[in-house]
Amino acid sequence: MKIIDIREIAVPLNSSLRNSVFDFSQMKTSVVAVITDVIREGKPVVGYAFNSTGRYACGGQMRMRFIPRILNSDPDNLIDFDRNNFDPEKIFSVMMEGEKPGGHSDRSVGIGTIEVAIWDAIAKIEEKPAFRSISDRYNPGGAKPKMFVYVGGGWYAPNKGIPELLDEMKSYLDMGYTQLKIKIGGESISNDVKRLEAVLKLLNNDGNNLAVDANCGLTREAAFDYAKVLSPYNLRWYEEATDPLDFALMSDLAEIYSPPLATGENLFSTQDVRNLIQYGGLRTDHDVIQIDPPQSYGFVSVARTIKMLKTFGWSENSLMPHGGNQMSLHVAAGLGMLLCESYPDTFGIFSGFSDDAEIIDGHLTINENLPGIGFEAQSGIYEVMSKLSNN
Ligand SMILES: [Mg+2]
C-alpha cells in the first residue's frame, strides 16, 4: 500500500466580496490530489482537499518540502498496520521533518491541506464517510452525523445596501438555516448597527440567532466601542475584533463584554490555541473557538487541540470549524463539535456542501453512503479535482 503521487494546482476564488480588511479578488486556493495504489471499485483510491478560504494557495511549499518528504519516505513508515490503512499521524510527522518550531502558518496550510486529502483517501479505503473514520480514531461513539450549521454571510460588496443584505439573509432562511452571521467593521458603527437591526428584525429580534464578525479589522478603541454598542443585543457571538494574536486585548474585551466572544480561525496550531485559552480571557461556558482544519495542520492536529482543551476544562462543545465546506463538516461531525459553518454560494465551487444537501431547521444530515469527504457529490469542485488526478 503506497502513495504514488501528490499533485496540486492553484485555482482562483473569483470573488469580489469584502470583509473589514480585504477582498478576495486576487485570492487563489490550492487543490490537492493524493493518488494511491489501493483499488476500490476497480479504480485507484484518490484523496482530495483544498486549502479552505482566506489564505492563499501554497503550492510552492508543498512541491519543495511536504510532497517530496512523503514520496521519498519508505512506504511502510506511512502505514497503520492494525487498520491496514495509511496512518495520518505518521504522515503528519514525515511532513514535519526538518521544520523549525514556531511560525506555524509557514507550513500549517500546506501540510494541513495534504493531510486532509490523506483522510479522504483513508475513509475511501475504509468505505466510510470521513466523519466515521475520524470518530473511530478520536471520538468513538461521539459522532454527530446530524450537524447544526449556521451561515457565515453578510459580506460587504459593491453596491450592496441594506435591502440587498436582507435579500441575502432571507435567501438563507428560505434554504432552511436558522442562525446567521454578518460582517461588521467595514462601515461606520452607526451604519453597521442599522444593518444589524435590519437583520435582527428578520430573526424576530432574537440575538441568539445572529453573530457578527469584524475579521480582526478594528483598532483597540473601535473594538471596545463596538462591544459597548453590541452588548444589549445579546448576539450569538462577537467574532475577531482585533489582531488574532493580541490575547491581552481579547482578555480586556472579555472583561467588559459578557455575551459570547469567538475567535481562532487565524490560529494555526495546538500551541496557539493553548495560549489563547490561557491568556485570552475566554470563558469555557459560552465562548466559541473557531479553527480552520486544513489551514492548521489538518484533522490530527484538531483532535490533539481538543485533547489539550479538555485538560483546561473546555470541550468539543465550544468548537466550530471555520470554512463552510465538506472538510469542516466532516471534522465537526466526527469530533462531535458544537456546530459547523456554511457559506452557501459565497465562494463558488469552494463553498457549500454536497449538491443534494438539505438543511432542515438549521441541521444537515451527512450521507452515510458516500465514502470519504464527499467531494464527488459536489459537481463544481469535483470537476477541478478529478482533472488533477486524471492527467
Ligand atoms: Mg471569521
Q: Which of 322, 330, 363, 387 is catalytic?
A: 322
Phi-psi category of residue 251: left, alpha or beta, with phi > 0 → left and psi -120 to 50 → alpha: alpha
Percent residues over pLDDT 90 in the chain: 92
User: Per the domain annotation, does 164 fall within a domain?
Assistant: yes
What pLDDT, on the 0 to 100 scale, is given for residue 390? 87
| Whether the Cβ atoms of residue 291 and residue 259 lie closer than 8 Å to each other | no
User: Per the domain annotation, does 379 fall within a domain?
Assistant: no
The rounded Å distance from CA 223 to ligand 1 centre is 15
- Residue 90 sits in a domain of what CATH number? 3.30.390.10
Q: In terms of domains, do 185 and 238 share one? A: yes
Name the residue with higher pLDDT: 348 or 254.
Answer: 254
User: Per the domain annotation, does 119 fall within a domain?
Assistant: yes
Separation CA 107–CA 102 (nearest Å): 10
Separation CA 245–CA 279 (nearest Å): 10
User: Per the domain annotation, does 378 fall within a domain?
Assistant: no
Over residues 196-203, mean pLDDT: 98
The rounded Å distance from CA 213 to ligand 1 centre is 6
Q: What is the pLDDT of residues 309-334, one digit of tens each?
A: 999 999 999 999 999 999 999 999 99
Q: In terms of domains, do 98 and 197 share one? A: no
- Kindly report the pTM of this predicted structure: 0.96
The residue written with cell numbers 463552510 in the block is: 324
Separation CA 296–CA 276 (nearest Å): 15
User: For residue 201, is pLDDT > 80?
Assistant: yes
Q: Which of 28, 183, 201, 330 is catalytic?
A: 183
User: Per the domain annotation, does 54 fall within a domain?
Assistant: yes
Residue type, 113: T
Q: In terms of domains, do 174 and 320 share one? A: yes
Q: What is the pLDDT of residues 50-88, one digit of tens each?
A: 998 888 999 999 999 999 999 999 999 999 999 999 999
Q: In terms of domains, do 171 and 98 share one? A: no
User: For residue 14, is pLDDT > 90?
Assistant: no
Q: In terms of domains, do 58 and 193 share one? A: no
The rounded Å distance from CA 80 to ligand 1 centre is 36
Q: In terms of domains, do 216 and 332 share one? A: yes
The number of domains in the chain is: 2
* Residue 70, C-alpha cell as written in the block: 512523503
User: For residue 24, is pLDDT > 80?
Assistant: no
Q: In terms of domains, do 156 and 286 share one? A: yes
User: Per the domain annotation, does 56 fall within a domain?
Assistant: yes
Q: In terms of domains, do 226 and 300 share one? A: yes
Query: Is 286 an annotated catalytic residue?
Result: no
- Residue 198 sits in a domain of what CATH number? 3.20.20.120
User: Per the domain annotation, does 333 fall within a domain?
Assistant: yes
How high is the mean pLDDT of the chain? 96
User: For residue 191, is pLDDT > 80?
Assistant: yes
* Residue 22, C-alpha cell as written in the block: 480585504
Separation CA 373–CA 386 (nearest Å): 14
Residues ≥6 apart with Cβ < 8 Å to 184: 20, 192, 195, 196, 212, 213, 214, 226
Q: In terms of domains, do 65 and 160 share one? A: no
Query: Is 322 an annotated catalytic residue?
Result: yes
Q: In terms of domains, do 54 and 193 share one? A: no
Q: In terms of domains, do 227 and 362 share one? A: yes
Q: In terms of domains, do 217 and 259 share one? A: yes
What pLDDT, on the 0 to 100 scale, is given for residue 53? 85
What pLDDT, on the 0 to 100 scale, is given for residue 348? 82
pLDDT band at 4 (very low <50, low <70, confident <90, very high): very high
What pLDDT, on the 0 to 100 scale, is given for residue 149? 98
* Residue 93, C-alpha cell as written in the block: 510527522
Q: What is the pLDDT of residues 127-180, one digit of tens each?
A: 999 999 999 999 999 999 999 999 999 999 999 999 999 999 999 999 999 999
| Whether the Cβ atoms of residue 112 and residue 51 lie closer than 8 Å to each other | yes
Separation CA 181–CA 151 (nearest Å): 6
User: Per the domain annotation, does 181 fall within a domain?
Assistant: yes
The rounded Å distance from CA 296 to ligand 1 centre is 15
The rounded Å distance from CA 295 to ligand 1 centre is 14
The rounded Å distance from CA 323 to ligand 1 centre is 9
Q: What is the pLDDT of residues 237-272, one digit of tens each?
A: 999 999 999 999 999 999 999 999 999 999 999 999
> What is the span of the domain harbouring residue 80?
3-128+384-390
pLDDT band at 117 (very low <50, low <70, confident <90, very high): very high
pLDDT band at 391 (very low <50, low <70, confident <90, very high): low
